[in-house]
Amino acid sequence: MTTVYLIRHSERFSNSNIISWNTTQSPLLQSEKSILSVEGENRARKLSELDELKDLDYVYASNCVRTLETAKYILDKQNLKITLDERLDERRFGKDNSLEIPNWYTKQFLEEDYKTEGGESQREVRERMDEVISEIVNNHPDKRIAIFTHGYAIFFYLLKYCELVSVNENREVALKYKGEVFFDKAISAPEIFKLVFDKDNLDIELVEGLYES
């Protein structure tokens, strides 16, 4: 039995706080360098104190600063090292076409092959996420593993196993697994999904308690 915690990174620093940005870096590189906000740091610290995430064996993260910043408190507290893998990165958005397609948010959930120029589709993200997570699970049987990644990447991976019940322009997503709705809201930062792989059986649940006072 291998337990995997899929963890969305903590709250990021808002670009609205940046007056100007004189750079030739690509939007993708700019996104990868995005840091946590002050509140995001506080939430990441609180995340490391959850009983559910104690006694981890391995930690993985995407190739982005904000996931590593979210993971660092757990690494320090549990004296762990981390493996970074770009296959855990967020969906590449590509060319912005939100003016031409105002319902782009729901469209990417409802049409698995929809993508913009230079971007990735739901199917493409799911395939690379499935590839790396399958490797991690197969390489670490009977271990407890935390994977720090991103919202779309998590949703699109979960859609391999889950039914999409609904999605709306308020970015509220409802997912059903084994006949039960286990997620029905906008994703938080951070958010934790627990996946337990046991031979041919898989259990999926949302880990609660992070935002309790």
Residue 171, domain member (yes or no): no
Residue 31 to residue 124: CA distance in whole angstroms: 19
Domain count of the chain? 1
Residue 154, domain member (yes or no): yes
Residue 175, domain member (yes or no): no
Residue 176, domain member (yes or no): no
Query: In this predicted structure, what is the pLDDT of residue 213?
Result: 56
Q: What CATH number does residue 8 fall under? A: 3.40.50.1240
Structural tokens at position 138: 């197969």
* pLDDT at residue 62 is higher than 70: yes
Span of 21-30, 131-140, 168-177 with lowest mean pLDDT? 21-30
Query: In this predicted structure, what is the pLDDT of residue 199?
Result: 85
Residue 202, domain member (yes or no): yes
**Domain residue limits at 34:** 2-99+126-162+189-206
In this prediction, residue 176 has a pLDDT band, given cuts at 50, 70 and 90, of very high
Residue 27, domain member (yes or no): yes
Is this structure's pTM higher than 0.75?
yes
Residue 73, domain member (yes or no): yes
In this prediction, residue 57 has a pLDDT band, given cuts at 50, 70 and 90, of very high
In this prediction, residue 98 has a pLDDT band, given cuts at 50, 70 and 90, of confident
SS (H, E, C) 77-98: HHCCCEEECHHHCCCCCCCCCC
Select from 154, 106, 165 the least CA-distant residue to 130. 154
Residue 118, domain member (yes or no): no
Query: In this predicted structure, what is the pLDDT of residue 99?
Result: 80
Higher per-residue pLDDT: 19 or 48: 48
User: In this prediction, what percent of the chain has a pLDDT beyond 90?
Assistant: 77
